[in-house]
Structure 1
Amino acid sequence: MVPMLSVVVPIYNVEPYITECLKSLATQTLEDLEVIMVDDGSTDGSRELAESFAALDSRFTLICQPNQGPGPARNAGLRLAKGVYLAFADADDVVPSEAYELLVGSLEQTGSDLACGGVRRIRDGELEESSLHEKPFRRTRPGTHILRKPSLTRDRTVWNKVYRMDFWHRHGLAFPSGIYEDVPVAMRAHVLADSVDVLADVVYHWRRRDDDEGATSITQHRAELDNLRERLAAIRAVRDFLSEQAPDLIETFDGLILEKDIVFLFQAIEAAKETRSLVELGRELLEMLSPAVLASVSSLRRLELHLLERGMVPQLRRVRRFRRESVNGTKIVPRGLRTVNWYGDYPYFRSRRRLRIPDSVYDASAELKLLAKVEECTWTGSEFRIRAEVALHRVTRRPDSVHLWLSDGRRKVPLEVRRAGRYGVVAAVDPRRLKGGGPNWRLNVRAETKGLVIKNVFTDGEGSRTWRLSVPGWSRSGMDMPQ
């Protein structure tokens, strides 16, 4: 009898967590499945707990092998898998009860090669957002592809997915040895698939093991030199594959490396007594990455990379400490008399010339943005009264001047503005000026300060991208005046 789904579970020293994981698989609403557990030489009670599940539920099978790592363990399970579809789960994580029904159901409906879904982190018994997975899984997109949805480069894990078994074998997918075996496989699958179903539903709970019990977790040792070398090897393997098969994704992938992977190297440099090998590893990584992506990172990250490349470890450690301690955010400051430039106000900014750090490292001009939020809009019976706040993000200086206007896509109606407090503005709108337009008007703002001119539209204060003014009592033609 061929099961609908095969789930492969590598096991290594996860005694405190394995029971919760296997229970979550046993209680899936998709019951037509087999669970192939592969004990990879555990030295704790993990194997015995797995054996008890195999004894109680005929869908569970246990095989054992000497310790070889998660990749070979998954490959061993794959050789026994008979399902129409294929999934993976790590033995310290949890799979929500409807996850496989949702993923398999999507593939049955669309015919895509793989389906993937959202992830939450388990931390101290509570669920929190997975920053790695948040962006690609904001909304459901059946039948898409990583080339049409580049944010899927962040989806570098194999266990929040269900694959068609024939797709897996047709492309000869297999896990390499090493501790970052899933990243190359996940990226290959995304690129090689004809189409992919993206589900906004949360289909996996990924445990964050920061306690002593999790000391054997791979991620517990991610700041160690050998671990970092393996991470770099996995990154290189993915970039080589993308260069051949999907070069348009290289810069997106590089951006993710500078957002996520580089942080583990920084953490290692902060903690290590001997940093020479770590700095060399960092230089090797930076040499690999796209110059365009290196130039486009934020000014604070640019400073960290500059110090890393020059081997300025004490300065790098201070900047990393500054990043952690800047709870109110970092500041951008203007410099110059006739020509004003905007720089990140970070450590060594005022001594940058002595340390031979170029001004371009601190340049934060591209990070300036105008924050505009309507606090209150009231109808007095004869006019609208708008009270709002306008400020430059990360700039303590208030704008020198603020201009507001309404637009309906065809007309532009400027408003008289009165300043109220440091960032407050007040404006009145006579609806007679809006006659013949509408029915919805967008409120726009332009701020000027130190030669900088920057524009934006107002939000509604609740996260909507635009704030719209609807005139009460007006028809779509905009001919009726409010009473």
Structure 2
Amino acid sequence: MIPLLSVVVPIHNVEPYLAECLESLAAQTLTDFEVLCVDDGSLDGSRRVAEEFAARDPRFVLLRQPNQGPGPARNLGVRHARGPYLAFADGDDVVPPRAYELLVSSLRETGSDLACGAVLRLADGELAPSTMHEKVFRRRVLCTHVMDRRSLARDRTVWNKVYRTAFWRERGLEFPAGIYEDVPVAIRAHVLATSVDVLDDVVYHWRRRDGGEDSITQRRTELPNLTERLGAIRSVRAFLDETAPELKATFDDLVLEKDIVFLFQALEDAADGDSGPALEVARQWLAELGPDVIAAAPSLRRLELHLVERGLVKELRQVREFRRASAEGTRVVPRGWRNTGWYGDYPYFRDRRLAIPDEVYDARQELKLMARVDECGWTGREYLLRGQVAIHRVERKPGRVSLVLSDGRRKVPLTAKRVGGQGLVATIDPRALEGGGPTWRLQARTETRGLVLKGWFREGESGPTWRLSVAEGSRRGMDIPQ
């Protein structure tokens, strides 16, 4: 009988974790599946663990091949897959019980080519958000696409998904050899899909392995691994150049946020006087990304890249240490009076010896206005609103602040009184909103030392956009008497 879902699990020296992985698959609420365990030449007891599962559960099948890496192992599993739906799981990770039920049900409902979901990191039995995935899966969106939802370019893993097997085969998707084989395939699938379902449910627990000779995490700063990672990045950028150039900036942002860190770690770990090989690999990375990508990076990252380009490893270590010590964030400060610039308050600014250009530190594009409503109450004649306005990463209080209520068509200015450094009080006369829309949003605008910023007020520190409801009561706003 043909199963509904085929799950491919590449296995190589993961004996301490494999039983937990396979047990999580056996416990899935969607029970009509097959698990294709592919032993990739394991030297520990991994094959024995898989054999035991296959012996007691006919849904588990063991395939074998000489050690070729996770990509070829997955390809072998795909060739044996019989189900109309296809998924991948790594032998050291865990799949939550309802994951495949949720993903397959979504595909059957929408007809999309793939469905993907949220991920948590698993370390020492504790779960924490995956920083790479959390921005992507904050809300459920069905029948979308990476061209419409650019954040999906950050979704570079294959195991938090279910694919239609026909889509996979018709598009000729195949894993390359090497240890970063999933990134090119995940991005290709997003671009080539007709539509994608994005679920906010957690569908995968990604284990953080910090030890063991076969742990990629442990070896990711080794120069051969960095060269392989660069190869995967080149492959994706070449594919995007040809098929979806609009996505390159989003992909490059993630490379500069995540991948480049391993390069810095390799340079930090290099012995004094022995950083030449690591610098050579680093320059290959910078050449691939190009000056435009580097110029668009955040200012502190630009400083790190500038130091790498000049081979200033000692100074790079100091800046990396500065970053780690700035747990609460780094500051941006204004400099100059007639033509004020806003610069990151980082080491070596205008250091005469290094003569780093000011534009490396330029942080104007990184600043944003933070506005929040603390309370809003009815006085009998009008609404009294109390809130706060601040510029993110800037210690000085904002300059002139103006407030505007907007329903999307009309704008109603409000009079605001400053209270202390960042506080303000404003009143809202309901009569000024007559004839307007049912809900209004509040926007702040500030002019500070040549800097002009706008931002919508939010509920509390990081809540949803604050709204004033005219037509009906709302926990996010206040009723205006009619």
> TM-score higher than 0.5 here?
yes
Write the mapping of 1:207-356 to structure 2, written as runs, cut at 5 A.
Answer: 207-210=207-210, 212=211, 214-273=212-271, 274-289=274-289, 291-351=291-351, 353-356=352-355
What is the rounded CA distance, in whole Å, between the counterparts of 1:62 and 1:292 in structure 2?
Answer: 48
| d(CA) in 2 for partners of 1:165, 1:470 | 47
**Kept in 2: contact 1:107–1:197 (CA 8 A):** yes
Q: Give the conservation status (yes or no) of the 8 Å contact 2:372–2:461.
A: no
Sequence identity (%): 66
Measured at CA, do residues 292 and 51 of structure 1 come closer, stay the same or move farther in structure 2, by a change above 3 Å? same
- Alignment partners' CA distance in 1, 2:167 and 2:471: 57
Instruction: Give the 3 Å change call, closer, same or farther, for CA 192–424 of structure 1 in structure 2.
Output: closer
| Letter paired with 1:6 | S
| Local SS of the residue matching 1:31 | coil
Hey, what's the Cα distance between the residues in 2 that align with 1:455 and 1:140? 28
TM-superposed CA distance for 1:341, in Å, is 0.9
Paired residues of 2:154 and 2:250 also in contact (CA < 8 A): no
Whole-Å Cα distance in 2 between the matches of residues 168 and 441 of structure 1?
Answer: 46
Q: Is the 8 A contact 2:344 2:362 kept in 1?
A: yes
Q: What does 1:68-87 align with in structure 2 at a 5 Å threshold?
A: 68-87=68-87
- Please list the CA deviations of residues 183-220 of structure 1 after superposition, one character each: whole Å capped at 9, or x if unmatched: 1222222222233222222221111112x3x4422122
RMSD: 2.5
Which deviates more, 375-384 or 148-157? 375-384
Q: Distance in 1 between matches of 2:340 and 2:224?
A: 46
Per-residue CA deviation, residues 279-302 of structure 1 (Å, 9 max, x unaligned), is 222221122125443222111111
Displacement of 1:62: 1.5
Shift of 1:123: 1.7
Listed as ranges, the gaps of 5+ residues in structure 2 are: 474-478
Specify the alignment match of 2:47 in structure 1.
Answer: 47
SS in 1 for 2:80: coil
Distance 1:405 1:467 in 2: 13
Equivalent-residue separation in structure 2 for 1:5 and 1:471 (angstroms)? 49
Letter in 2 for 1:288: E
- 3-state DSSP of counterpart to 1:242: helix
**Shift of residue 149, structure 1, vs aligned partner:** 2.4
Distance 1:392 1:68, change over 3 A: same
Return the letter of the residue paired with 1:280: E
- 1:284-338 CA-to-partner distances (Å, cap 9, x unmatched) read 1122125443222111111111111111111111111111111221111111121
Whole-angstrom CA distance in 1 between matches of 2:196 and 2:283 = 36
Would the aligned equivalents of 1:13 and 1:46 in 2 still touch at CA under 8 Å? Answer: yes
- Using a 3 Å threshold, how does the CA distance of structure 1 residues 401 and 481 change in structure 2: closer, same or farther? closer
C-alpha deviation, 1:79, in angstroms: 3.0
Cα 1:204–1:437, aligned 2, differ >3 Å: closer, same or farther?
closer
CA 1:64–1:374: 2 relative to 1, 3 Å:
same
Aligned to 1:477: none
- Mean CA deviation greater in 238-247 or 174-183: 238-247
Q: Tell me: CA distance 1:115–1:432, structure 2 relative to 1, closer, same or farther (3 Å).
A: closer
User: How far apart in 1 are the matches of 2:130 and 2:156?
Assistant: 12
Are 1:95 and 2:95 an aligned pair?
yes
**Structure 1 contact 387–424 (Cα < 8 Å) conserved:** yes
User: Are the counterparts in 1 of residues 115 and 163 from structure 2 also a CA contact under 8 Å?
Assistant: yes
The structural deviation recorded for 1:10 is 1.1
Q: 1:72 to 1:423 in 2, by over 3 A?
A: same
How many Å separate the matches in 2 of 1:107 and 1:433?
48
Q: Indicate if the aligned counterparts of 1:254 and 1:290 stay in contact, CA closer than 8 A.
A: no
For this pair of structures, how many residues does the alignment match? 475
**Using a 3 Å threshold, how does the CA distance of structure 1 residues 268 and 103 change in structure 2: closer, same or farther?**
same
What's 1:365 paired with? 364
After superposition, residues 403-482 of structure 1 pair within 5 angstroms as: 403-408=402-407, 412-431=411-430, 440-461=439-460, 463-470=462-469
SS in 2 for 1:264: helix
Pair 309,370 (structure 1): closer, same or farther in 2 beyond 3 Å: same
**AA at the equivalent of 2:239:** F
Cα distance in 1, alignment partners of residues 380 and 357 from structure 2: 58
Deviation at 1:261, TM superposition (A): 0.8
Distance 2:371 2:138 in 1: 25
What amino acid is aligned across from residue 223 of structure 2 in structure 1?
L
For the residue of structure 2 that corresponds to 1:458, the secondary structure is: strand
- Residue 466 of structure 1: CA displacement? 3.3
Secondary structure of 1:162 counterpart:
strand
- What whole-Å deviation, never above 9, does each CA across 1:155-188 have from its counterpart, x for those lacking one? 2111112222222222332222111111122222
Of the structure 1 ranges 150-159 and 436-445, higher mean CA displacement relative to structure 2 is found in 436-445
Q: Which has the higher mean CA deviation after the structures are superposed, 412-421 or 132-141?
A: 412-421
- Greater CA drift, 233-242 or 411-420: 411-420
Q: Look up the equivalent residue of 1:265 and give its one-letter code.
A: L
Q: Where does residue 155 of structure 1 map in the other structure?
A: 155
Structure 1 residue 465, shift from structure 2 partner: 4.7
Aligned to 1:394: 393
After TM superposition, the structure 1 stretch with the greater mean CA deviation from structure 2, 67-76 or 221-230, is: 67-76
The answer to whether the 8 A contact 1:432-1:481 is kept is: no
Shift of 1:386: 2.5
Worse-matched range after superposition: 201-210 or 289-298: 289-298
Task: Flag the 1:434–1:104 CA change in 2: closer, same or farther, 3 A.
Answer: closer
Q: CA separation of 1:33/1:433 partners in 2, compared to 1, >3 Å: closer, same or farther? A: closer
8 A Cα contact 1:472 1:482, kept in partner: no
Q: Which residue identity lines up with residue 10 of structure 2 in the other structure?
A: P
Letter in 1 for 2:170: R
Aligned to 2:164: 164
In 1, Cα distance between equivalents of 2:107 and 2:412: 51
